[in-house]
Amino acid sequence: MKCPYCQQEMVCDTVDVGVGEMQSGPYGCENCHAVAVSWEDRNSPELDADEKKFQVWKGKKDDAV
Ligand SMILES: [Zn+2]
C-alpha cells in the first residue's frame, strides 16, 4: 500500500504472535505521517475530500513520534 499523498510505501506496526507477525496498528506513512483511517472514522465529518477518497488521514494529527 502506497501513501496517496507522497507515494512512499506505508508501514504498520506488527507484533510477533509466535506463528508469525500480526498487524497491531493502522498503516501509516513514515515520510509525511499520513495514517490509514480506521473503520470507525471512515464517515467522520473531519475527513476532507481527499481523505474520504483515499481513506487515509493527511499527516496533520500530531502523534508523538
Ligand atoms: Zn506519505
For residue 44, CA distances in Å to 10, 23, 41, 47 come to 22, 23, 5, 6
Give distance in angstroms: CA of 32 to centre of ligand 1.
4
pLDDT of 61 above 60: no
Give distance in angstroms: CA of 40 to centre of ligand 1.
22
Q: What is the pLDDT of residue 24?
A: 85
Rg (CA), the chain: 13
Determine the Cα–Cα distance for residues 1 and 44; give it in Å rounded to an integer: 22
pLDDT band at residue 13 under the 50/70/90 scheme = confident
Give distance in angstroms: CA of 56 to centre of ligand 1.
10
pLDDT of 8 above 90: yes
Q: What is the DSSP letter of 51?
A: H
Give distance in angstroms: CA of 52 to centre of ligand 1.
16
pLDDT of 62 above 70: no
Opening angle at CA 3, ends 38 and 64, nearest 5: 60
User: What average pLDDT does range 23-42 have in this prediction?
Assistant: 92
Give distance in angstroms: CA of 1 to centre of ligand 1.
11
